């Protein structure tokens, strides 16, 4: 599967009121592996950046004046993204800006050019409820080195997000078992002999009071995070008088 980790920098926070994209950074993953086929573009937004945005990304208006306008890079960007699944942190923000730029050119919406969008902020909120889930916070939590991130930059942020995404989804492929037969001897797995487990007496280790209390506390936290929709709550036996 081809995936593109994408980030943008903009002149401000609102595409609807005229803010524009000034930088696009894309990192390509194929089957969860970094390919090195990245895309990095600076764009002349045809307006100045807000002071708040400038403090975040540090890209001056003077630097952007000789860069191509979005219309000049649209074909290159869409060809690069075509058919891929996008991975974005706080996807509505970046998608909203890209859609507005494409709308100005009569090029439709991002969704018409890609296979889908994964929002890692939504993923993080589900995995770490009640915690800070900014990119910096996730880098610290997942041990991704972001020491070089003094200012926001689209390509650097996309590279960090790629590492964060891989760490957040690590091990998921191990749950997929391909049972289809293969004619390739290198991909065939030798069948293990069947073992009758009835001959073994398996020990049952009971938790002590502290361990049971800790387990109950974890279940309570999970239930709160799921807003009372956990399976064990739905299937609890009804209380009897």
Known catalytic residues are 152
Residues 52/16, Cβ–Cβ less than 8 Å: no
Distance CA 123, CA 133 (A): 10
Parallel, antiparallel, or unpaired: how do β-strands 21-30 and 2-10 relate?
A: antiparallel
At 27, phi and psi to the nearest 5?
-125, 125
- Cβ contact 88:117 at 8 Å: yes
Tokens encoding 32 = 């969860």
Q: Are strands 39-42 and 33-34 parallel, antiparallel or unpaired?
A: unpaired
DSSP E strands, 138-193: none
Q: For residues 102 and 114, is the Cβ–Cβ distance under 8 A? A: no
Token readout for 33 is: 């592996």
With tokens 């970046």, the residue in question is: 94
Dihedral (Cα; 163, 85, 24, 22), 10-degree rounding: -130
Task: Return the SS3 of 59.
Answer: coil
E-assigned strand segments in 74-183:
85-88, 116-119
């Amino acid at each position: 599967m081809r995936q593109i980790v994408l980030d943008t920098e903009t002149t401000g926070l609102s595409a609807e009121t005229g803010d524009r994209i000034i930088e696009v950074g894309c990192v390509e993953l194929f089957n969860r592996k970094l390919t090195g086929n990245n895309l990095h573009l600076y764009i002349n937004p045809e307006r100045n950046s807000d002071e708040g945005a400038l403090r975040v990304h540090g890209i001056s208006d003077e630097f952007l004046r000789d860069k191509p306008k979005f219309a000049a890079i649209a074909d290159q960007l869409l060809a690069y993204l075509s058919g891929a699944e996008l991975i974005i942190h706080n996807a509505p923000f970046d998608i909203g800006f890209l859609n507005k730029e494409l709308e100005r050119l009569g090029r439709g919406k991002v969704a018409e050019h890609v296979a889908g969008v994964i929002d890692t902020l939504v993923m993080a909120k589900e995995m770490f409820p009640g915690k800070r889930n900014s990119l910096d916070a996730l880098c610290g939590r997942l041990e991704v080195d972001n020491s070089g991130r003094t200012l926001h930059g689209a390509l650097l942020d996309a590279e960090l997000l790629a590492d964060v995404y891989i760490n957040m989804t690590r091990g998921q492929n191990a749950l997929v078992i391909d049972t289809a037969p293969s004619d390739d001897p290198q991909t065939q797995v030798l069948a293990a002999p069947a073992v009758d487990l009835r001959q073994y007496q398996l020990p049952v280790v009971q938790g002590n009071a502290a361990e049971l209390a800790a387990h109950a506390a974890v279940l309570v936290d999970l239930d709160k995070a799921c807003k009372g929709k956990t399976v064990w709550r739905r299937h609890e036996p009804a209380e009897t008088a």
